[in-house]
Structures are given as C-alpha cells and as structure tokens.
A and B are shown apart, each in its own frame.
Chain A
Amino acid sequence: MMINEGSPRESFDWQGIKQRLSRAQESLRSAENLSDAQIKSLMAERARQLARVPERVIDTSELIEVIRFRLGSEEAAIETRFVLALMQPQSITPIPDTDDFFLGLTNLRGEITAIIDLGCFLGLSGQTQRDAQVLVLGTEKPECAILVDELEHVTTIRKQEIREPSGGLGSVVDLLIGCTADAVMILDGDALLRCDRIYIDQNDQP
C-alpha cells in the first residue's frame, strides 16, 4: 500500500540520476589530467608574470627588507637581516622562576635557544597561540626566538614611509624603528638583540 502511495504521478527520475553520476565521474577523471592546451596556457601566464619588468627601479639603499607577522591583534615587522630562520618548535621546555614573556627553551638544529613571547614582552594585548611558529633571530648565530602568529611573506618597505614612533608607547619606543602608514610596527633588530632583559643572566638568580 505504501509503495503505491509513493509517487504514481512523479516517478523517481532514475535516468537523470544516472546522467548526473556519469558527469561527476567524468569531471573527476578530467580534474587530474589537465589537457595540453590548459597546461600551455598556465605556463605561458606564469612566464609572463616572471618576465615582467619592474615598474620602477628602486634605489636599494632606500629600501629595507622586512618579514611581516602578527602578534595577537597587532601587526609587526622586523628586518630580514636579523632573522635566521622560521621554524616550528618541536617542544618548549619551560624554565621556572623567570619572567612571564620568557616561554622556555627549545632545541633549534642543535642550538639551545630561548623563546620569548614578544607580544607579552612588549605589553601588547591579545594572547599568542602556543603552537604558533617561531622566528629565530640573530645575525651570525641564533640569539633568541620569538613566538609569532601567522607569518606574512617578506616585503620591502621604503625608509621614507616609516614614521617616527610617538611618545605614547613608553619603553617600547626604544625597540621600534617606527611605524608604517598601515600601522605595522617595525621592530629595531639591533635594539632587540642588545636588550639585556631577554637574556637570562645567572647572576640575576637570587
């Protein structure tokens, strides 16, 4: 009885279903194998992009290369010459009785390096994720590593565009070169590496 009540007036469109299935199978097969024409057009587009002449030859002395990243809700950048590598720490070993921003130590390619929560260090709001990536800082050898959120890629910034930091930032001002128009803090790598507070001194121990 229920079978008869099913759909005498609009029977299930088995033919349409079969067609749709075969179409899906076809598209799945064709997605893996690009046709020759498609490959050729993709390659040509890529070559065109690479061969593009820069719009303007920029005086490299006026430019600094920075790597942009996020600290909580703030965006910051640091010159690439102070960055050694970007890594994902395997494990962080906390060190008791240290400052809050001092997250712990880790092994980076054989070097024991301290990891610092820079947002906390700079007194910025927002919490940095624990499983975030770390930037290894240093010029010759790894000095320290900072925990960052969402690394952007490497960009160049003109020195003229960097504005002097205003006085409202307190002690942080010493660690900054300035600020860009889109509110990205440019950290001073030298000042940061020279800062005593990020180094653990045995003598400090009470």
Chain B
Amino acid sequence: MSTVRIVTDSTADIPQDMREKLNIEIVPLKVLFGEESFLDGVTISPEQFYDKLTSSSMLPTTSQPSPVEFMETYDRILNESPDATIISIHLSSAVSGTYQSAVLGHSLLEREGDIVVYDSKSASFGIGMLVVKAAEMAAAGMSKEQILDAIETMNQDKRLYFLVDTLEYLQKGGRIGKAAALFGSILNIKPILTLDDGEVTAIDKVRGQKKAVLRILDLVAKDFGSDPVDMTLAWTTHNELALEMGEQAKARLQVRGTHHTKIGSVIGTHVGPGTVAIFINRVKG
C-alpha cells in the first residue's frame, strides 16, 4: 500500500505541534524588508515579523517559493519513500503565484512521481484545515482519491471570515480583489471579508468592530445552525478580539473543538496588524 504525503506552504498557518505530529511538509514563502529576506515561519516568527512591521518605516513585500524549491521538496520526499503519493495543497491562485510555482516544480521533477497540486482557493487556516484533514486521513491509511474527495467537500462546506483593522494593507498589496470598489474611508467601516472563489471579497460592511463581530456570528449561525463544528481563531497582533469572538461563537454554535493560530508574516503583510479571522468547519456529531 502506497503512502500519501501532504505538502503545503507557510501561509496555511498550521501550528507547530500539529505539523510535527502529522508529518506535514511546509514550503515557506518569503517576506522581504527591502534587501533583507526572511523565510516565513522559518527565519522569522510571527511575533518578530509584527514587531518589525510596526517599527519599520518600509512596508515589506512577499514572494512565492520558486519552482525549484517545490521540485526539491517533492524530490526529497520521493527519495525518502519512492512509492509515495504527494498531495500538495496551496494558497489561492487568485492571490498568489504559489500554486503556479508548485505546478511548475512538479513539471521540473526529472523522475516519475504521483503528485497532485491542489488550489485551495483559500488562505491561512482555510488551507490549514484542509491540510490537517488530509494529513489525518493519510495517517489513517486513506487513499489519494478518498483524501481529495474529502478535502474538496470540506473546502466547499467550510466558512472563513476576517476583519482587518484597515483596508490599507490589502490595497497596497493589490490583494483586495472584489473588495476593491468598497467604500469610503471617512467612516470607520468594517468590511466583513472572506475568500470567494479564491478572491478577497467583502460580503457585508458595517460600522464598528463590535457590530462586525455580531454580523460574522449571524453569518456563521445561519451557515451551520446547530450542526457540530470545529472552530479556529486566528489573529495577527492582538488576540483579544479573536478570543472574544470565539466566546460569543460558543454561545451560538455547537462548537466541538477550538484551535488558535497566529497568522504568519506573508498573509500578515497583506492584511496588516489588528486582523482577526474565524474558520469554521462541520464535524461529525
């Protein structure tokens, strides 16, 4: 029986303990402050990054891993277990070239290998939850087909919403997508953002953070009703609002498992300090 190995990139924001336990291979993206380059989550931790982001006068830029880096990763895995099947799950192709790079990396590989590169059309733990699910199924000996089927279903069913403190970072990074023609800047308008078909989309807009949180909870309550769910709360710099949102969510949803994670430097570059996110997926009762 062939083994299935799971590869993802650093934007999946999978906590360290999970990735070690589930043997997940992570290809880091890069974040650059001028000439200075860091590997996301490897040579720069989220804490270090946000310190630098708030203290540095220049805004960082980000870059995807090169195809060669993917090729080398796939090659190394196949050296370890030559009959392995690789499922490589990545950041939405609508906002990053990472997926494209992985596809190219596969084509550069000078050996036969069963590799599926999957466009999550998502970001942060929206990728992470698919990766964790896939890795758990792989550990349980499930087949490539079973895993792909399961993560596709999960991907359709999951919900993610995020709140940014300011749209400035999304605008500067050009990642604002359909949220672009949103609104003015005079009022403190909080767009409720999500990824729709991989693109950043504002599905609603409200004034004020508290109202925004209430609106998100209305949305998830409508989506999941009384079904049991797993919830992951994520943040860039401040966890208070995320934890508060989690507490309120528990009062309105049947939450089975709660996870916390920090949004890494690459996604952090594009959403900025003060961002919080909630990821929800249905689980079996």
Query: Is B truly associated with A?
Result: no
